[in-house]
Structure 1
Amino acid sequence: MAHIDYFFSTLSPFAYFAGTRLEEIAGRHGAGITYKPYDILALYDRLGAPRPQDRPQGRKDYRLQELRRISKKTGLPLNMQPAFWPTNAAPSSYAIIAAQKAGGGDMGALVHGLLRACWVEEKDIADDAVIGACLEAAGFDKGLSFSGMLSGAEEYAANLEEAHTRGVFGAPFYICDDDERFWGQDRLADLDAHLAGEL
């Protein structure tokens, strides 16, 4: 069975724009997914890449245009300047890690729910109540936001190390078990074609 390691940040608008297409693609091909949230700002620092706020103005302007265009193309609404961005991505990431270990719910719905909370619903995804509501809506125990903190913190740090080692440089980033890599929500069609043996 094919497998996809999914590296992402709960702060990424581009991960939000992926929606649940990854899960739909994996379902079509019988592929498994391992969700690997990581600290994207720490990765930028390691790579010597500027953080979003430190990028040249032209690139900042272009990013805003891209976000507007992608919102129209995907049909997914977006608040261009959400009230709680950037926020601490660790608590929501810990919850995702804990939910993946616990099982019993819909991981795609959880990840998208957290991203939507940030980029559409003007909610702080570092807030325990917001995280708990997203867990519950996706079929998980909302208490995972507390019970999974220690192991979540350890795995969150390990995901950063793995991302750096495996050549990840952005989000969303998908790595198949044959080491074929796809960066960006706009490459999901290519990932689909690859799993179908067409690319």
Structure 2
Amino acid sequence: MAHIDYYLATISPSVYLAGTRMEAVAAKHGASVNYKPLDIMGLFGRTGGLPPGQRHENRQAYRLQELRRQSAKVGLPLNLKPMFFPANPAPSSYALIAAQRAGGGDLGALVHALTRACWAQERNIAEDDVIREALEGAGFDGNLVNSGMLSGAEDYARNLEDAVAAGAFGAPFYIVDGTEHFWGQDRIEDLDTYLASLS
């Protein structure tokens, strides 16, 4: 059975636009998924990238056009300049880590709820109430918002180190069995094709 390490950022518009398509592909092929939320700005700095606001104006303009096009393509509404971006991604990431440990809910739905709150609902995903609502909507205990903060912080930092060591440089970034890399929500079809080739 294939295994996917899923490096993600809860403030990433591309993670939002991925929806739950990767999860559907993983289920189709019986692949397991390990969610590894990380500090995307830290990842950019470690791997030669720049945060969006520091990129050349040409790149910033293209990014906005591409987000608009991809939003229309996948049928998900997206505010190109959300009110709470960039929010502090750590609290929502810690909650996701706690939810993965606890089990019993839908992690893909949780990621999508958090990113949707930022990119489509004008909500601050650093706020406990927003995170709690996302947890409960995905079938988790809302009290996980305050659970395992220290271990969550440790895993969050470790995920960044793991991402760099594994060859990731953006989000969403999917790595199959430690070797095959797929960067971006627009590579989920390629991920599907690759997983099909393994069976």
Q: Fold-level match, TM-score > 0.5?
A: yes
Q: What's 2:39 paired with?
A: 39
Q: Which residue of 2 aligns with 1:50?
A: 50
Distance 1:125 1:40 in 2: 15
**Which residues in structure 2 correspond to 1:2-41 (within 5 Å)?**
2-41=2-41
* SS across alignment from 2:170: coil
Q: What residue is the counterpart of 2:71 in the other structure?
A: 71
Q: Pairwise CA RMSD of aligned residues?
A: 1.2
CA distance in 1, matches of 2:11, 2:41: 10
Deviation of 1:178 (Å): 5.1
Report the equivalent of 2:112. 112
1:127-166 equivalences under 5 Å are: 127-166=127-166
> For residues 169 and 46 of structure 1, what CA distance do their matches in structure 2 show?
8
* Matching of residues 74-85 of structure 1 within 5 Å: 74-85=74-85
Counterpart of 1:189, as a letter, is: E
* Distance verdict in 2 for CA 1:92–1:178, change over 3 Å: closer
Amino acid at match of 2:62: Y
Match of residue 172 from structure 2: 172
Aligned-pair CA distance for 1:172: 0.4
Number of the residue aligned with 1:96: 96
Question: How many residues in Structure 1 have an aligned counterpart in Structure 2?
Answer: 199
3-state DSSP of counterpart to 1:196: helix
CA drift of 1:47 comes to 2.3
Over 6 Å off, 4+ runs: none
- Structure-2 separation of matches of 1:2 and 1:45: 30
Counterpart code for 1:152: G
Q: Runs of 5+ in structure 2 lacking a partner?
A: none
Normalization by structure 2: what TM-score? 0.97
Identical-pair percentage: 62
Q: CA deviation at 1:148?
A: 2.2
Kept in 1: contact 2:166–2:178 (CA 8 A): no
Distance in 1 (alpha carbons) for counterparts of 2:44 and 2:195: 29
- 2:7–2:38 Cα contact (<8 Å) kept: yes
TM-score by length of 1: 0.97
Report the alpha carbon displacement of residue 8 of structure 1 after superposing the two structures with TM.
Answer: 0.8
Which amino acid counterpart does residue 109 of structure 1 have in structure 2? Answer: A
Aligned mates of 2:95, 2:178 — CA distance in 1: 28
Give 1:50 shift.
1.8
With over 3 angstroms needed to count, the CA separation of the structure-2 counterparts of 1:53 and 1:178, relative to structure 1, is closer
